[in-house]
Amino acid sequence: MITSIAAYLKYFESVNRRDVRDVAALPAQAEGWRPANGEGENAFTINQLVGHIAGQRFYFLAAYMGEGWTEARINALPGSALRPRRPRIDVSTREQWVPALEDSAREFGETLAQTPDDWLQRKIPSIDSAVSFSGWRVLMMMLEHDISHRSQIDTYAGMNDWDPPQIYNRTAEKIGQLAADAGGRSGLE
């Protein structure tokens, strides 16, 4: 459980750094790439996925702020008839991807930093059921959403031999070798 906005924002910044790192590592051929099959989010171009990550932060923020589960804070989805409170997030070229993530992270963080810590405990009704979530849980949903779509982008990178960055700068093969070299030692001696 998250108990302070400062602690949450520290964690969010680390997630965003990894989002930026992975998106920045994509080659020029990633621009406009989409999977051959799929519908909806499963057929988004990488451009659309980056815009979706950047924009949906404001969807979760709106719910957290008590404005409801609304896309009124964003304008990153094609065909939206809603009048947003912010300019459209332009991710039409690869050069705009990192600034889009950085700008949305900054705006999200600045807005969230103005809220009191006790909002983390307040209940927020679900969009589609009778349950409600603690504020901290809604914010964690946003992080899970970010990570899920970053993983989707990284999977596409791997499928295309674009060499996605390793989360801890180690491959599974390297960890296996390190474990074998350690001879079963736990390091807790």
3-state secondary structure of 123: strand
3-state secondary structure of 84: coil
Q: What is the pLDDT of residues 59-117, one digit of tens each?
A: 999 899 988 887 655 544 444 454 456 677 899 999 999 999 999 999 999 999 999 99
CATH topology of domain 5-182: Four Helix Bundle (Hemerythrin (Met), subunit A) (1.20.120)
CB burial string 109-124: b at 16+ within 10 A, e below? beebeeeeeebbeeeb
Q: Measuring CA to CA, how many Å separate 45 from each of 6, 18, 49, 147? A: 34, 20, 6, 17
